[in-house]
Structure 1
Amino acid sequence: MLEFLDSYAWIFWLGLILLFVVIEMLTLEFTFLMIAIGSLGGLIAGVFGAPWYLQIVVAGILSLLLLLTLRPPLLRLLKRGGDPTKSNVDALLGLEGLVVDQVTSTAGQVKLANGDIWTARVSPLTENRELRRGERVLVTAIDGATAIVVPAERTSDRKEGTL
């Protein structure tokens, strides 16, 4: 049995390398890539005549070293080019809009600059007043499906009533 392992360990290593590369292609997190490279180290140790148990030790140590040293910087490089575009609730914060239906501290509707119509409430941090139809607002928070708004400051370069 041990002679068989010594003679055909290279087939075992090739199978493991193939398996780990396929799993890596499905997960894309560099863990199985590092293990595949460690297995390649075990295969190379076998080519140079190391016994099967030493091949396993070489593969294990190499995999562990790669996981601890090479994988973290590779993940940082991969995540560095992330999409900076805001999405979901983050994309709504700071968005301007127009009051469609009078907004009070309990109810109302606004049409946001992205074209969506949202139920809205006046922010509790704002003076206690109602916002009339056509007033410009700014979204400060989202509470469930309700936009929390404050009156927007007027700017001289925009026409009244447009976004």
Structure 2
Amino acid sequence: MQSMWDWFSEHAWVLAWAGTALVLGTIELTTLDFFFLMLAIGAVSGAVAAATGAEFLVQVLVAVAVSVALLGVVRPIAKKRLLKPPPSSFGVAALVGQSGVVIERVDAHNGLIRLAGEVWSARCYDGRSIIEEGATIEVVEIRGATALVLEEG
């Protein structure tokens, strides 16, 4: 039967990579910038390479390649999605200022627009204009379930 110390000596690189990943992950918890997280995941991939019996140079290449790929692709997406400021308005108030497209002629009394992926009833904000189908509009105000709009441009 193999002793625990024999296992540690046979898997020293796995433990070194895992320790490096742990340290980098801990640093990430203090910075919250997703930089050290990507390096920690790279170190984990180095540990996996070591566990499969890869040579040290291969372990380093795997860890570097994974880290660089994550830093170049995943980190920008993660920062954009997770660190964006909360919206300044909620519900229908968030639609004011948005652009939409007229799907049925809009005048002072009737009309339909596509806004934020939904169909809304709409009226011209000034009460006099007529906006034809296909035109791009901007929402000026929401009253109930009706958008008051002006033609863009």
TM-score by length of 2: 0.49
TM-score by length of 1: 0.46
